[in-house]
């Protein structure tokens, strides 16, 4: 008998676009911090769907919200009002302190919308310069968003749009190149896909000062860091900065696709009917899931847990890493942790998978851990135990 996992993998090879380097694993069930494969094997999920399942897999409150909404109304388009969208808009703007929100379906769409907003508002101010982005960043895979990204993602997809300029990340002196004609600055306070690179306080706060002095729109990409991942609701809150726009997705809907653009001041009012839109964005089902997810984060004090357990796990991994010369660095904030290897790390990620721990290898050399925010100290110790066993086999 052909195993179900083999059947599913064969279907992927034969019927799907070959866009993913998938691990040889088919998952069929999840609960809390655990997932299960077709053979019933349990895994501790330290990836959480790439920082998506912040409240854990199939949290009862989120499941009930989805079930109840699905039985009532799933989709109606944005030609009409719907209650979950408006109530979640109120909740999200109040929690964030931003004035208005636009709902879409993904982080990519949120960033694309933010680019349009920045261009329109800066044009109204008479600006004609570029949008600044930074080396190591990742803002999505559309033709526009790969323009703000690594050359490897751009290869074969030219010609790319004009109007963007790259500066080196965490280079304070390079910021002196930014002039008054600059339209906007896009930045991640902690780069996820880039390798869990943490922005320096001086670097990020100088960006904020420049934006205020030169009337430049500041956009912070919170796709991966938002919704409690770093121990605060938004990653930028670790720094003394005040963005005009932030973009959200991943942890917003516990796996139900939803993205959001939050804006304040002039940026919140720049778009008018016809400027932007989405067929599916903010549909009742997605907003019901997102509202329930946010309520769980608040009610279960997951910001505090993310910070406390994340700091515990980071310190434990940092101590462990001292025994292995091939580990170059360990860094992180809250439950967003990177272990940088001297060599490429995909094979090590596969080894961890065999031992029952799910992680990813990002930026070729960095093992990324972004577990659900409900992770306990005992589960953190389990991660350490599996890491140590795997690392010992590398020596």
Residues designated catalytic: 138, 221, 250
What is the distance of C-alpha 395 from the center of its chain? 33
Looking at residue 187, what DSSP letter applies?
E
| Cα maximum dimension of the chain | 69
CA distance 98 to 91: 11
**Terminal-residue alpha carbon distance, the chain:** 38
The tokens describing 157, both together, are 């997809």
With contact defined as beta carbons under 8 Å apart, do 26 and 9 qualify? yes
Closest CA to 216 of 188, 189, 241, 243: 243
Cα torsion 37, 42, 45, 49 to 10°: value is 20
Question: What's the CA gap between 301 and 290, in Å, rounded?
Answer: 16
List all residues 6 or more positions away from 292 whose beta carbon is below 8 Å from its beta carbon: 59, 61, 62, 64, 65, 66, 254
Centroid of chain to Cα 291 = 18
Angle at 229 between CA 224 and CA 234, to 5 degrees: 80
Query: What does the alpha-carbon distance between residue 22 and residue 20 come to, in Å, rounded to a whole number?
Result: 5
Beta bridge partners of 300: none
Contacts (Cβ under 8 Å, ≥6 apart) of 1: none
β-partners of residue 338 are: 331, 368
**Buried (b) or exposed (e) across 295-308, using 16+ Cβ within 10 A?**
ebbeebebbebbbe
Preceding peptide of 51 cis, ω within 30°:
no
Angle between helices 377-394 and 346-354 (to 10 degrees): 120
């Amino acid at each position: 008998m052909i195993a179900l996992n083999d059947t599913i993998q064969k279907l992927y090879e034969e019927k799907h676009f070959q866009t993913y380097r998938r691990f040889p694993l088919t998952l069929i069930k999840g609960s809390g911090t655990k997932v299960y494969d077709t053979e019933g094997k349990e895994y501790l999920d330290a990836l959480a769907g790439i920082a998506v399942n912040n409240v854990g897999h199939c949290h009862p409150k989120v499941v009930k919200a989805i079930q109840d909404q699905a039985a009532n109304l799933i989709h109606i388009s944005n030609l009409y009002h719907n209650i979950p969208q408006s109530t979640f808009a109120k909740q999200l703007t109040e929690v964030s302190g931003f004035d208005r929100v636009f709902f879409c379906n993904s982080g990519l769409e949120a960033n694309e919308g933010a680019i349009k907003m920045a261009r329109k508002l800066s044009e109204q101010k008479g600006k004609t310069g570029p949008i600044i982005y930074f080396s190591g960043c990742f803002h999505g895979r559309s033709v526009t968003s790969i323009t703000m990204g690594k050359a490897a993602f751009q290869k074969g997809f030219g010609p790319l749009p004009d109007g963007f300029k790259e500066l080196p990340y965490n280079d304070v002196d390079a910021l002196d190149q930014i002039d008054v004609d600059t339209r906007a600055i896009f930045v991640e306070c902690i780069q996820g896909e880039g390798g869990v690179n943490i922005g320096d306080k001086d670097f990020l706060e100088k960006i904020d000062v420049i934006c205020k002095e030169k009337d430049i729109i500041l956009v912070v990409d919170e796709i991966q860091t938002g919704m409690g991942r770093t121990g605060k609701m938004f990653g930028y809150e670790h720094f003394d900065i005040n963005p005009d726009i932030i973009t959200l997705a991943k942890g917003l809907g516990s796996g139900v696709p939803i993205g959001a653009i939050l804006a304040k001041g002039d940026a919140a009012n720049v778009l008018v009917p016809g400027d932007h839109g989405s067929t599916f964005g903010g549909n009742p089902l997605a907003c019901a899931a997102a509202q329930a997810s946010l309520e769980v984060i608040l009610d279960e004090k997951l910001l505090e847990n993310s910070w406390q357990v994340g700091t515990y796990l980071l310190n434990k991994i940092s101590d462990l890493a001292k025994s292995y010369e091939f580990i170059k660095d360990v860094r992180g904030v809250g439950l967003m942790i990177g272990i940088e290897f001297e060599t490429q790390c995909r094979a090590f990620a596969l080894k961890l998978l065999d031992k029952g721990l799910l992680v990813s290898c990002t930026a070729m050399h960095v093992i990324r851990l972004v577990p659900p925010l409900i992770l306990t100290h005992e589960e953190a110790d389990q991660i350490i135990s599996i890491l140590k066993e795997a690392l010992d086999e590398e020596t």
